[in-house]
Amino acid sequence: MTVFRSRRAALPSTEQPADVVVDGGLIVAVEPYGTVAGDELIDLDTLALLPGLVDTHVHVDEPGRTSWEGFATATRAAAAGGVTTIVDMPLNSIPPTTTVGHLETKRAAAAGSLHVDVGFWGGATGDNVGEFAALHDAGVFGFKAFLAPSGVPEFPHLVGDELERTLAEISRLDSLCVVHAEDPDVLAGSPVPSGRSYAGFLRSRPPEAERTAVARLVETARQTGARVHVLHVSDAEVVPLLDGARRGGVRITAETCPHYLCLAAEDVGDGETAAKCCPPIRDAANRDALWHRLGAGSIELVVSDHSPCPPELKALDTGDFGAAWGGISGLQLGLPAVWTQAWSRGYGLTDLARWMARGPAALVGLGSKGSLDVGKDADLVAFDPDTTFVVDPAELFHRHPVTVYAGRTLRGVVWDTWLRGQRVDGRDPRGRLLERGT
């Protein structure tokens, strides 16, 4: 029996001193500070104790594009950032996770190299609706769909009536559809991105693309009864659409990402293609509005949308936003990025744990994860919330040292991470493959 003792434990309802007692990989008790004698005491003193974060939006890219990332590097970076569970997106790997056979290929690639626990999304590409039931039975946590081009040819977006057919089957299975919601017609009618101007790139992905797509998703979910989730909300003005839909009985949730909460368009210099993502980082007023929506509970969770690539695909040499891959490498830095802004806005560690651990776990039904509660897996993080550091890309564990946070000062340092009570050391992979319902 091991006792994790902290003067700042982020319990589900409050931050307070506590002894968290672990046995057999589970939390077996949460007791008043300093009251439990165990076989081993890990005394964190004033370091905060957080539940291991759950990141349900990670592109690992293996197999097929392992030169972009990979299970060993992604999960090592996750652990270094306080993330103990990830759910891998179905695209950017080859093959994409659109059949059970492809899912098994991905599981085989992951086996034996995981430093944290890993589950999988299935893919919804319009032509594979007949595969959903088998994928659902095989344990995927739901299905990812794009309403606009995905950026990779092997994972097409939904066209015509494919969204309706996709959601009808997902409703029948009582599964979940997570959606990249940008409208392709709005994007097609916007300026083509090119050159070094970030303002020009912003004009190519206007907020109307998100609003139009979310409105369509809401209406289709209403008609089919499907449970849906809006990925990476960057435009705060889509949130009133979500609130109205919920009041009308639509089962819809939403997430945003650390880069939308920590950065603003005003921070992005021309040619800074490390900041390119879709939908884009918008202005500071929009960032403030996102924080308001998150604090009010209208956005339920914060996840990374970690989407790495080799440096040459980010067009770092030319700074051309039209040529650069759209994706942020942020898995290891999401916790301090969000905390930097959360702390400055008066939020606490319990809020952080709700947005980045409990909320994502609830989205995918991971009942064993996400909080410092009796019966949960002892996935734990020692976090110094008061120390700042300057981001050095060379110190990151994901495959390529490229990050939009390079040179920026962030608040909060992860000191240690434990998976089921065992310290993650970066050498001995102890992560497990997860299925829905675990």
**pLDDT band (50, 70, 90) for residue 38:** confident
SS3 191: coil
What is the C-alpha separation between 298 and 291, in angstroms, rounded?
10
* Residues 310-353 pLDDT 10s: 999 999 999 999 999 999 999 999 999 999 999 999 999 999 99
Quote the percentage of the chain above a pLDDT of 90: 99
For range 146-164, the mean pLDDT: 97
For range 230-240, the mean pLDDT: 98
Q: Where are the beta strands (DSSP E) in 356-408?
A: 380-390
Residue 371 pLDDT: 98
Average pLDDT in the chain: 97
Residue 437: pLDDT over 90: no
Q: Which two tokens stand for residue 233?
A: 């909300």
* Residues 342-390 pLDDT 10s: 999 999 999 999 999 999 999 999 999 999 999 999 999 999 999 999 9
Residue 438: pLDDT over 90: no
Domains in the chain (CATH in brackets) are 52-367 (3.20.20.140)
Total-model pTM? 0.98
Q: Which residues contact 111 (CB under 8 A, 6 or more apart)?
A: 433
What is the C-alpha separation between 117 and 417, in angstroms, rounded?
13
Taking CA atoms, 177 is separated from 141, 145, 342, in Å, by 9, 7, 29
Over the range 383-422, which residues count as b (16 or more CB within 10 Å of their CB) and which as e? bbbeeeeebeeeebbbbbebbbbbebebbbbbebbbbbbe
* Residues 120-154 pLDDT 10s: 999 999 999 999 999 999 999 999 999 999 999 99
Bridge partners (DSSP) of residue 389 are 410
